[in-house]
Amino acid sequence: MIVLFLSNYINKGLKIKNDGPVKVQKAFAEIMMAKDSIKNGNFEESYIQFNNAYQGLNKMTNELNGLGRIVVNSTKYIPYFSKISSGSHLVTAGNDISQAGILASKMLKAFKNVKSQSDQGQKISYLKLFQNNEENLKKISVLLQDAQNNLDDVNVDDLPEKDRVQFIAVRKDLPQINSALNTFLSEEHIFVDILGGNGPRKYLFLFQNNQEMRATGGFIGSYGLLNIFNGNVRQFFIDGIYNPDGQLKNKIVPPVPIQKISASWSLHDSNWWPDFPTSAEKAIWFYEKTGGPTVDGVIAITPTVMQKLLKLTGPIDMPKYGLTINEDNFIPTVQEQI
């Protein structure tokens, strides 16, 4: 009976060892396709692909559980069977990533629907949107941490040589993703405050042209004032920088190097110090002197930042201008407009 039991057990192990890699590779191919779908904004498709991967990996998990977790984990010490242990950890990691992907796809689909509602003129609370998805973010964080722990237990030598580079890249990137997500969740109170969850907030935007060098990233050619409360954008006013400069009644003596080109100092030259908070405080001071309201914070944006944002959002249609803006044409288009 013992011989028959061991024989059956070994056959199961060999079957998993031989068939498992094919099933795992198929599931991970679905995960990679889902990642591309998310990048292209196809969240319905990414949800289906992550779900397919999850279903496939779940079957593998059940097969491995049939061997017994303790026994499976101990196979890493047996040269010929160590692939079963590595495969088990890889399956669990893939399972976690698939579940995290399913939750992320749902969230991104919700964000897409909100954008559509916003385009139709409906008022959207970004704070409420964040709060509604906070629980999912926490679940994703737990799943990705478990995935990271399991990937750490995979022996790279047990993987097919063609898959090793990609595996090492994923194992290297995952801790950074986890760290960023954990930091975001631990600092959520700041996010709530920024979005006006604790009262109305005003932010001064400084649009800096990084083709004209200044200490904080570029010459301030225009500015914006954002009013937000409870996650609802009440107003986003944008204007040329010389309009408030023209309202400055007092003549401010500039730092000595600026005196060589100008006898006065104003908002467009306020970013004099490389230390951003110092320059930001000076910008607030100048803005108040021109009759502007006291603001709660300063945000500087350069064309490069906009390029990076457009890389994340994808192209944005601007029918009023007959244009579609993307990361490649943003800078030349803006330069032409200016």
* End-to-end Cα, the chain, rounded Å: 85
Please state the pTM of the whole predicted model. Answer: 0.68
Taking the C-alpha atoms of residue 193 and residue 328, their distance in angstroms, rounded to an integer, is 34
| Residue 263 tokens, joined | 């006898």
Q: Which residue has the higher pLDDT, 224 or 2?
A: 224
233 by Cβ neighbours in 10 Å (0-12 / 13-18 / 19+) ranks as middle
% of the chain exceeding 70 in pLDDT = 83
Region of 217 on the Ramachandran plot (φ > 0 left; ψ -120 to 50 alpha; else beta): left
Section 94-107 average pLDDT: 88
Is 133 a residue whose pLDDT tops 70? Answer: yes
% of the chain exceeding 90 in pLDDT = 36
Section 175-200 average pLDDT: 89
Measured from the Cβ of residue 223, the count of other Cβ atoms closer than 10 Å reads: 23
The one-letter amino acid at 299: I
Is 33 a residue whose pLDDT tops 90? Answer: no
Section 259-282 average pLDDT: 94
Model confidence band, residue 236 (pLDDT cutoffs 50, 70, 90): very high
Residue 238: the pLDDT is 95
Taking the C-alpha atoms of residue 18 and residue 7, their distance in angstroms, rounded to an integer, is 16
Taking the C-alpha atoms of residue 31 and residue 37, their distance in angstroms, rounded to an integer, is 10
Residue 321 CB partners (closer than 8 Å, separation 6+): none
Q: Which residue has the higher pLDDT, 170 or 140?
A: 140
Taking the C-alpha atoms of residue 173 and residue 251, their distance in angstroms, rounded to an integer, is 53
Residue 80: the pLDDT is 47
Q: Which residue has the higher pLDDT, 231 or 204?
A: 204
Measured from the Cβ of residue 28, the count of other Cβ atoms closer than 10 Å reads: 23
Taking the C-alpha atoms of residue 91 and residue 150, their distance in angstroms, rounded to an integer, is 9
- With tokens 């600092």, the residue in question is 187
Per mean pLDDT, which range of 75-84, 151-160, 323-332 is the poorest?
A: 75-84
Residue 70: the pLDDT is 46
- ∠ CA 29-33-35, nearest 5°, is 115
Average of per-residue pLDDT values in the chain: 82
Measured from the Cβ of residue 58, the count of other Cβ atoms closer than 10 Å reads: 16
Give per-residue pLDDT as tens, 47-72. 888 888 888 777 766 665 554 454 44
Residue 121: the pLDDT is 67
State how far Cα 333 lies from the chain centre: 26
Model confidence band, residue 120 (pLDDT cutoffs 50, 70, 90): low
Model confidence band, residue 216 (pLDDT cutoffs 50, 70, 90): very high
Is 311 a residue whose pLDDT tops 60? Answer: yes
- In degrees to the nearest 10, what's the CA dihedral of 96, 100, 105, 108? -160
Taking the C-alpha atoms of residue 147 and residue 141, their distance in angstroms, rounded to an integer, is 10
